[in-house]
Chains A and B, each alone.
Chain A
Amino acid sequence: MAEDSQDHSTNSKAGFSHPSQGREAGGRPQGENANRLHSPDLEEKQLLTGGRPGNRYVRIVRPYAREFRRRAPGHLVATERVLRPRGPFGLATETVRRVLIGPRLRTEQEKEERVGKLKGLAIFASDNISSSAYATEEVMRVLALASLGALALSVPITLAIIIILAIVVTSYRQVIRAYPNGGGSYVVAHENLGALAGLAAAAALLTDYILTVAVSVSAGVAAITSAFPELFEQRVLISVAAVFVVTMLNLRGIRESGNVFATPTYVYVVAILGLVGFGLFRMVTGSLPAYTAPPEWLAGQTAHPLTLLLLLRAFASGSVALTGTEAVSNGVPAFKPSEVRNAQVVLVMMGVLFASIFLGISVLSTQLAIVPHPEEVETVVSQLTRTLVGIGPYYYLIQFSTAVLLLLAANTAFNGFPRLASVLANDGYLPSQFQFRGDRLAFSVGIVSLSALSALLIVVFAGSVTSLIPLYTVGVFLAFTLSQAGLVRHWWRLRGEEHGWRQRAAVNTLGAVATGVVAVVVAGSMFMLGAWMVLVLMPVLMAMMWAIERHYRAFKDSLALERPNARLPKPEPPHVVVPVSRLDKAALIALAFARSISPDVTAVHVSTDPEEEKRMKRRWEQWGGEIPLVIVESPYRVLISPLMAYIDALDRQEPKRPITVVLSEFVPRHLWEYILHNQTALRLKIRLFFRRNTIVVDVPYYLGGENEPEHLDDGIGE
């Protein structure tokens, strides 16, 4: 595309400025040169005549090149320089922010890591595998309410949960196949079952993510306080601090880096499998050590009858082990090709590993007749390890790797929640702020919201995993059920195209029924223990998201162009009102601007003092400007209401004409000087902002006189 061939000639050297003298440090030209052509692209083009006859040059000056990079005509890219803070306060804030969050990243600096099966297992399975650290304990805690003998039922309940796990894993293999771009429960339910089911899944997932952080961090801290019981009293503080650290890491943009996840996950898996193997070996050889629970642990317990409800409660508490199963299906695109195959393999590996650890811990704990600590000071895994290998390096390895893995599991929620929130915001179900990505490309609002809500839960539930579990499981299984049911619908829709759709639909039907039954069991058996909170919260969340979507839809509809080539509306010149308190330089700038946008300008002076009113009239006559002045007397000494009433009256005279109010507002040099002025313009601006058919123009006047046009002195007589 050729440039505009019309040269905007300047004469000879008039257009030159010294590059080292003619600009400020930031490269901005000083003053205005009438011979330069300024373009919207912020370039200045000059045609110059050189020293020799016939020599001509075209010079394209880029005074704002540091702030904007030009990509194409009418396309500028802002550089990091425009974000540089101004003033000491901004500089201090920026420094703190840099230290805590790190330097800003450009949008294109985002990197998507592709992972293989081993790293993928570490990344996506950490949430699920980490559940093995507390799943057995939660089953035993409920059974122990009946009697110590009831603890023997831990293994059958564990097996029942593993069967459910197998069904869920098999069903989610289908999700991976059907949604290779990542099929979260929300996406699957929304696409196949409609908006309401999608919202239900979204509400369940959002609460699930919040609880994942609260439960994982609390359980991680419990692993530490088991090793160091003197820290038990500080567990809430430590948990909140851990949430803060994970939040800061996520705000810095830490991604699910395979290397970050791989080591702790595999250390935990190898260590715990080693412990389970060692324990089973001793069990088979009949050399298991003796375990005796302190009698005071049992003294305070009141025996509950071993009812079906108690068994269902134990099953429901243990079902927490299934949390995180869906993570693999959400992250299919992160796998190396073939993505679907790798994700399916990882899902099965995860299920097998988790089931082995879970079953192993349950079997050994039952064999040893381990009793959960009534006040959660020491975890079952800690007791098991202590009994099997004693307190030594291996014990600390197990405790620390458990704690680190649980914190990483919390981190997976920090990845999932903000992304889901941004997807929901993109669909209009959550405020658009959730789509905002911060300096480090992280969804800052989502991260901070998750952090605040999970920290609140930890504080309210005093960092107790057992108290948090009843809230946790119901949402997880609801999301499972909706996802599986959605997939049944999906296969039904593809019945003409997809070979083997019946088998696939059957698998997902089984998944939907199984997880649905568990959801009902969990909700029923744990209702009074706290599940009711989630069951109340979820419809509220759904209603909120529905209302937000309605608002955004109405907002978009009202702003949408009726046709793509809509022409600019041609409004009549506005009736301009300029409120003036006195005739000064600031007022004259406002009046001059008002005159520049419309011939119909009225200056309005609200008078609260007859003497001042006379002075104003006299000065207006002396000035001799051609703008009429209207005095509105306010005997009750109120400024804004009479002015608003005058504007209303003016508007009623010609309702079709817009009214523009030009406000003169002076800007003091220092922030503290604002308090010396009564800010009438600011209050008026706020009132006018909500008035229909009214445009408010703010004309600032900077105290200090650096930008006073010379002509303003004309006509002002003292």
Chain B
Amino acid sequence: MELASKAIRSESPGPVIVCLDDEHDIASLVQCGSAHARLADRSLFLVFLIVLPPQRPLATLSEEEKQRANTLLDLAADRAAAFGVETTEEIWITRSRSDAVQQMAEEFQASAVIVGWHGAGPFGLFDAGRTLLDAVGCPVIMVGLGTGRRAVSSWPPSWLSESLQETGR
């Protein structure tokens, strides 16, 4: 809630960035991104992130992978359009998810970054979200999707629905 509030109040002129990948629920991420974009009156930027292992050159994306990314981006754009939000979309191929998110947040002066989050492991280990929070300069909203201990159970949370209703968006 704290992070989301910061995102809404952000003075940054940039878009709300939604990072998508194969693992996370695109519908929830796009719904969250669309809600924030409308609330903050920002554009929505959808990025499909593909993380390749070091042994694979970055430019050797298979046609199937590329097509899957395109299809999911189309799906996400259609969902955003259903919420009345115009989008731009890109595919990013990278070695490190957090580095790429940090990079795009800086370059586009993002007003918020929305990512999916499966929760942390035992004792907070393997928490990729924590790494991202430390790395990215703008507010980060992690939409809990998985079954981890700290996963969010439902989306959108009541405070966001109320905010949207209050502002009439």
Interface residues of A (CB under 8 A from B): 1-7, 13, 16, 18-21, 23, 25, 27, 47, 50-52, 55-63, 65-66, 69-73
Contact = CB atoms under 8 A, between A and B. Distances in A.
Nearest to A45: B59
A65 B95 contact: no
A54 to B, nearest CB: 9
Given A20-B43, A58-B59, A51 B106 contact: yes
B154 to A, nearest CB: 29
A51 B67 contact: no
B57 interface: yes
Given A51-B102, A60-B90, A62-B88, 14 more contacts: A3-B59, A3-B61, A6-B59, A7-B59, A16-B108, A20-B13, A27-B88, A50-B103, A51-B103, A52-B99, A56-B94, A58-B58, A58-B59, A62-B70
A217 B115 CA distance: 62
Contact of B15 (A19, A47, A63): A19
A25 B59 contact: no
A59 B58 contact: no
B48 to A, nearest CB: 9
Nearest to A81: B81
B58 to A, nearest CB: 5
Contact of B100 (A5, A57, A65): A57
B62 interface: yes
B70 A66 contact: no
B110 to A, nearest CB: 9
B93 interface: yes
A23 B61 CA distance: 26
Interface of B: 13-15, 42-43, 45, 57-63, 66-67, 69-70, 73-74, 77, 86, 88-96, 99-100, 102-103, 106-109
A5 B60 contact: yes
A190 B135 CA distance: 74
Given A55-B99, A70-B70, A20 B62 contact: no
Contact of B93 (A27, A60, A61): A60
B62 A2 contact: yes
B130 to A, nearest CB: 19
Contact of B92 (A3, A7, A27, A58): A58
A57 B93 contact: yes
Nearest to A6: B59
Nearest to A54: B95
Q: Which of A3, A5, A52 is most buried by chain B, counting CB atoms within 10 A of its CB? A: A3
Contact of B63 (A1, A20, A47, A62): A1
A56 B100 CA distance: 9
A73 B89 CA distance: 18
Contacts of A62: 70, 73, 88-91
B18 to A, nearest CB: 11
A56 B62 contact: no
B94 A57 contact: yes
Contacts of B94: 56-58
Nearest to A48: B103
Nearest to A70: B70
A67 to B, nearest CB: 12
Secondary structure dominating the interface of A: loop
A65 B73 contact: yes
B72 to A, nearest CB: 12
Nearest to A8: B59
B15 A56 contact: no
Given A18-B108, A57-B94, A7 B58 contact: yes
Contacts of B109: 18
Nearest to A9: B59
A5 to B, nearest CB: 6
14 contacts: A1-B62, A1-B63, A19-B45, A55-B95, A56-B95, A57-B94, A58-B94, A59-B91, A61-B90, A62-B70, A65-B73, A66-B77, A69-B70, A69-B74
Given A58-B93, A60-B91, A20 B58 contact: no
Contacts of B107: 13, 16, 18
B30 to A, nearest CB: 15
Contacts of B59: 3-7, 47, 58
Contacts of B89: 62, 65
A19 B43 contact: yes
Contacts of B67: 70-72
A51 B89 CA distance: 22
A6 B109 CA distance: 31
B10 to A, nearest CB: 13
B58 A57 contact: yes
A30 to B, nearest CB: 13
A55 B14 contact: no
Nearest to A66: B77
A58 B15 contact: no
Nearest to A29: B88
A551 to B, nearest CB: 42
Contacts of B73: 62, 65
Contacts of A1: 62-63
